[in-house]
Structure 1
Amino acid sequence: MRFTRDDRLLFIGDSVTAAGRDRDDPTSLGDGYVRMIAEALPSPATVVNKGVDGHRVHDLEARWATDVLALGPAVVTVLIGINDTWRRYDRGLLSPVAEFEACLDRVLTLTEEKCAARLFVMTPFLLPAGPEQETWFEDLTPRTDAVLHTATAHGATVVRTDLALPRAAEVHGAAALAPDGVHPSPLGHRVVARAWLAAAGVGVPSP
């Protein structure tokens, strides 16, 4: 896919996307995969990071009009889901998969209707840092299936971070990619960025 200077590529999600971005600076891209993608694009485009730490899918929906639709992006990339799972285990806050899927479907529908944007949907991922996180898959696996189902229904380009990171972990070890199982290291962010670039067909830089 080729981009022009007039194209706005918007990334929205939780702390994995935010990666330390300065929310008071609309040009801040953080230090993670969004910045790496912006630096690797072979053609000029405007890249916007709208990740917010701790957000779940309903939080994204609440700010979708201002953070996505109002900006008229040409491409919207969504990465959400791990906090919907995590909050079940650390705070007892449930995010039923059916409701999660319906919410994701609503924001993607709005984006198609209001922006006619090309959609990219990234799967949530987990590289368990300990035995207690292994149990999270009972919640995360059906949630990932819901993400895939919704993305397919909208004709979105799917970025399988849930496959790319485990493959990379076979080489580098899980802790080198996401020390706490959730938040990527610089190497982990590089794997995520490469997966997006490959899915977009814009070329993949060397590791």
Structure 2
Amino acid sequence: MTVAVPPSGRVLFIGDSITDAGRDRSCGEDLGTGYAMMAAAWFTARHPEHRVSFRNRGISGDRVRDLRVRWETDCLALAPQVVSVLIGVNDTWRRYDRDDPTSAEEFARDYRHILQETRRLGARIILVEPFVIPLDDAQRTWREDLDPKVDVVRRLAAEFDATLVAVDELFQAADVDDRVWTRDGVHPTPFGHALIAQAWLRAVTPTA
């Protein structure tokens, strides 16, 4: 199922550092240097007549609980027609580096809340799977925490009639040295961002 992007519509990318990608937060229109910028650039290059605007509200370090706190100002107040969410790896990471876990139940509760709020807009929703690209045995153990959260995102996509962008599955299936995609197991290289952007673009289509 693809998401129809209307002419002159507004698309919002929101999430953690993977979406943030170094954006200039003093400029509301800066998209950073990651997949959000790449996807917006290619969409506009292919469909310049549609004059779609793109916004990035990723914030490095965010968990889904942080999205819930800022959802009114950073999502609803912008009145986007399409909302693209990528969140979850920090909900896993904090368990291992700070002993501050987020259970799958808590993750689902807060994620469901922001999607329920988004329904008020009548916006179409794109959910991008959280992912990890393990570079060592320690990161491979993260799968026990991340996999249930990926399952949550898949179930919520079905529940809210959202379009799922299955990048966790995509990275796992890519038969190359994982360091092509990441330097630390979490943050994509430019090549990793490009892979996400390509998957995202396959999930959208312009409307006439």
Q: Which band: TM-score by shorter chain? A: over 0.9
**Of 64, 73, 89, which residue of structure 1 is paired with 2:71?**
64
Q: Deviations over 1:84-116 (max 9, x none)?
A: 000000000111110110110010011012x10
SS at match of 2:90: helix
Normalising by structure 1, what TM-score?
A: 0.93
Question: Which runs of structure 2 are paired with 1:105-124 in the superposition (5 Å)?
Answer: 105-113=112-120, 115-124=121-130
Q: RMSD of the alignment, in Å?
A: 1.2
Residue 135 of structure 2 is aligned to residue 133 of structure 1: no
Which amino acid letter does the alignment assign opposite residue 182 of structure 1? Answer: V
Residue 195 of structure 2 is aligned to residue 191 of structure 1: yes
Task: Name the counterpart of 1:93.
Answer: 100
CA distance in 2, matches of 1:34, 1:7: 16
Tell me by how many angstroms 1:6 deviates: 2.1
Aligned identity (percent) is: 44
Question: Which runs of structure 2 are paired with 1:1-207 in the superposition (5 Å)?
Answer: 3-41=5-43, 42-43=46-47, 44-113=51-120, 115-168=121-174, 170-171=175-176, 173-201=177-205
CA distance in 2, matches of 1:70, 1:201: 24
SS at match of 2:12: strand
Contact 1:166 1:174 survives alignment (8 Å):
no
CA distance in 2, matches of 1:14, 1:194: 19
**Matched pairs, number:** 199
CA distance in 2, matches of 1:38, 1:110: 25
Normalising by structure 2, what TM-score?
A: 0.92
CA distance in 2, matches of 1:13, 1:91: 20
CA distance in 2, matches of 1:127, 1:182: 6
Provide runs of 4+ in structure 1 moved above 6 Å: none
Contact 2:5 2:82 survives alignment (8 Å):
no
Extract unaligned runs of 5+ from structure 1. 203-207
Extract unaligned runs of 5+ from structure 2. none
Q: Deviations over 1:147-188 (max 9, x none)?
A: 1111110000000010112233x13x1111011000000000
Higher RCO, Cα 8 Å, sep 6+? 2
Contact 2:133 2:186 survives alignment (8 Å):
yes
Which amino acid letter does the alignment assign opposite residue 61 of structure 2? Answer: G
